[in-house]
Chains A and B, each alone.
Chain A
Amino acid sequence: MSFSLLSVTFKALCRRWIASLLLVAVAAAGTVSAFVLNGLISRQEEALENTKKNTVISCVVTDYSGSSSGNLSMLSAFVEMLTGKRRERDCFLDDYVKNVRAMAGTPLLSPENHALRRILSIDSDPLLDPINGVSVEFYEGYSEEVLQGREMVCIVAPDMVTENGYIIVSPDENTEAEIKIVGILNGGPTGIIYCPFFMPFEEEISVAFYVNTCSFDIKDNTKLKESKDYIYEFFVVPDVMNKNDGLTFGVLVQDETYHKSLGEINSNLTMLRIMLPVLMIICGCIGFFAGFLMTKGRIREFATMRCIGMKKMQIFFLVIGELLFLAAFGMLLGGGIGFIIEGNLSPKAISDSAIITAVYIIGTAIAALRIVRINIMKLSNKEE
């Protein structure tokens, strides 16, 4: 009996193929919606995290007022703080900043008409910007990292390379140092000898000097506020009202675009988060009404079933069975499409799609219940 009933039901489903297809499509649409809507948020969140991680937020050290970022006349101790050389004095700025770029110029008595520039990296001096057609070639065994150390080495223009590979410099009458040439500046400025920022003229003797320019990047953008707070314990927010005591320097954090972009994306995420349940409810409602209306339209069919002796509950379960079959098929189909679109099967999407399908089945069940509860005579009358 039950087998023949299932067979009849299946035949009926096939015969009403358009209606069956639409019901499958409605169930599939609900599942796809759940997948897509859940994917929107996770995709956006993941991309946002990557952006936060990868975006470079530059900070420029300026004078107290912010009017100048060149010729700062800032003591080199500030750069020591930024590069973690003052941790023993409870300054942990290097925990919050990275890629410190600093340049300090020292006039030289000898060679005549030459200057020494202390740099922490090649990009510490705008004159070495590739836009100027400059390229730096380090000798074997040396790299840009040497500029962060204290070795007595230098980079010079090709015409300054000496036979013994050393150059003698003299910043004042009492000091003379022999510096090893470890690289060549091609297409760069002439008359400038570039050396490691912290290079002493005599070994084991640290010197303090004035820094011309300094900039750095934020180490961890997710801790931007914390980083800024800590930076401003040592520097100030540039303002003409600041005290010009020669020891006050500003830091301008160039995070305006970053904040603006992040603000937009965060508002978008918030919108999606609030919108998601609303859209889920709408999808559920659509499923409910679709199921209800499709089932309600089969009243003639149910009347015939009752006339040939089928019980109310039998018809009810038959309808639910049909719908479960179509819904399951639709859910699988929708899940497949959702997986193709989103590329993953998130548990949240699966549970949401199950809820939408359940709402859809409830709609069908209510319609079926309403129909089967009607008196057989009324059903017949309706048929007439």
Chain B
Amino acid sequence: MFSQPDLIALAITLKLAFITTVILLLLGTPFAWWLSRTRWRYKFILEAIVALPLVLPPTVLGFYLLIMLGPNGPVGGLMDAIGGRPLAFTFTGLVIGSVIYSMPFVVQPLQNAFTSIGQRPLEVAATLRASPLDRFFTVTIPLARQGFLTAAVLGFAHTLGEFGVVLMIGGNIPGETQVVSIAIYDHVESLEYVQAHWLSGGLLLLSFLMLIAVYALNRRFRPIQL
């Protein structure tokens, strides 16, 4: 079964995925909304940046983050200047890395959901006395619920499976930055195949269940055309 350190790694992984998902939903919602509405001609550049983690090797992303967050990097230097400690090899650093790494999995479903709602329901709401903020909460969010569910589950599941970025900026500190994927790697390195099986199987099952949930919900909330 799971050893004590494995359970800690699992807890850190779930905590990381949860915090990352919450941050991404909070930041991603206004950003995806803006992307879906703006007529700014260079918006495609931002869309490309959001999509970068999809194609970039995680080590590349992790490398640049390490440079940025390390004591000699701009962010690390800033932290140093204000009396904090550098973010590399900390849980906070992991969260920052995960937020960037999983960004497309949250922003893209939200942007698609907002785009597919179109302008009309919001115009209707405007003629029914709803202010812009009121319209967002009472029309946009309920109509985009499918996008929110997809975004949340994909963001969470993708963070669970993170390896390269974590390895680069989180290191492998048990109890602080050691996540399941890295613990599995360690077990295999030390030929502890039983532990590796348990952790791998657990992650496989969890990921599969979450994807099942996404696809089942997508089927139930088929977009309604009126």
Q: Does chain A bind chain B?
A: no
User: A residues within 8 Å of B by Cβ?
Assistant: none
Binding site for A on B (CB under 8 A): none
